């Protein structure tokens, strides 16, 4: 028979673990450039500064706010990012605003291809590093997909929101356990 005290300790441990899981799985929505949006910035280091100190994770969203026809969002290699080369883009999205869901770890490079790379040369370029959110892989091993399927943006009523609704229930249950 478990004594009441150890039951309470167990509940606290479970609750703490649950809170940690909720924090880890919560996707963050980043507005690229904040109020500046996705534009030709006033300083060429603007988007580097914006990205500094941010911890991007799988499932997070980068919201590129721009008007269709004024800018675009191209994903490119590091080489083309550095050179602002618009020749070999990986993907190009011309319709704004655009929500990019981070679906792989490592570096991601974005540029605007307008003005034959002129916007990019003026600083409309973004590089982000996405850390390993899952347990550490062995050093030197090739990057492995962290999960079988990349986390899709949670539609209403899916895991994230259902967790949010079940969590208060968990709290209530624990509160009751303390009273009785």
Ligand X SMILES: *[C@@H]1O[C@H](CO)[C@@H](O)[C@H](O)[C@H]1NC(C)=O
Binding positions for Cu ion, rule: CB under 5 A: 71, 112, 114, 119, 124
91 binds, among Cu ion, ligand X, none (CB under 5 to 8 A by kind): ligand X
169 binds, among ligand X, Cu ion, none (CB under 5 to 8 A by kind): none
**Considering the complex, what minimum distance in angstroms separates the CB of residue 178 from ligand X?**
33
**Considering the complex, what minimum distance in angstroms separates the CB of residue 94 from Cu ion?**
11
**For residues 4 and 131, which CB has a smaller minimum distance to ligand X in the complex?**
131
**Considering the complex, what minimum distance in angstroms separates the CB of residue 61 from ligand X?**
6
Contact between 64 and 100 under an 8 Å Cβ cutoff? The reply is: yes
150 binds, among ligand X, Cu ion, none (CB under 5 to 8 A by kind): ligand X
31 binds, among ligand X, Cu ion, none (CB under 5 to 8 A by kind): none
**For residues 47 and 57, which CB has a smaller minimum distance to Cu ion in the complex?**
47
**Considering the complex, what minimum distance in angstroms separates the CB of residue 108 from Cu ion?**
18
**Considering the complex, what minimum distance in angstroms separates the CB of residue 120 from ligand X?**
19
Contact between 104 and 144 under an 8 Å Cβ cutoff? The reply is: no
Interface positions with ligand X (CB under 6 A): 29, 53, 55, 61, 63, 91, 97, 99, 103-106, 129-132, 136-137, 139, 150
> 106: which strand partners?
130
């Amino acid at each position: 028979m478990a004594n009441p005290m150890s039951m309470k300790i167990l509940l606290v441990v479970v609750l703490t673990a649950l809170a940690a899981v909720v924090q880890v799985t919560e996707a963050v929505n980043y507005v690229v450039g904040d109020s500046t949006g996705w534009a030709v910035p006033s300083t060429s280091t603007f988007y580097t500064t914006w990205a500094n100190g941010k911890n991007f994770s799988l499932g997070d969203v980068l919201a590129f706010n721009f008007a269709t026809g004024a800018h675009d969002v191209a994903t490119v290699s590091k080489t083309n990012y550095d050179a602002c080369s618009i020749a070999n883009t990986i993907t190009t999205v011309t319709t704004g605003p655009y929500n990019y869901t981070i679906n792989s770890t490592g570096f991601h490079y974005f540029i605007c291809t307008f003005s034959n790379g002129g916007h990019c040369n003026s600083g409309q370029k973004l590089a982000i590093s996405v850390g390993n959110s899952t347990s550490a892989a062995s050093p030197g091993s090739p990057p492995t997909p962290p999960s079988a399927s990349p986390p899709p943006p949670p539609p209403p009523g899916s895991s994230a929101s259902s967790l949010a609704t079940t969590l208060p229930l968990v709290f209530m249950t624990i509160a009751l356990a303390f009273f009785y």
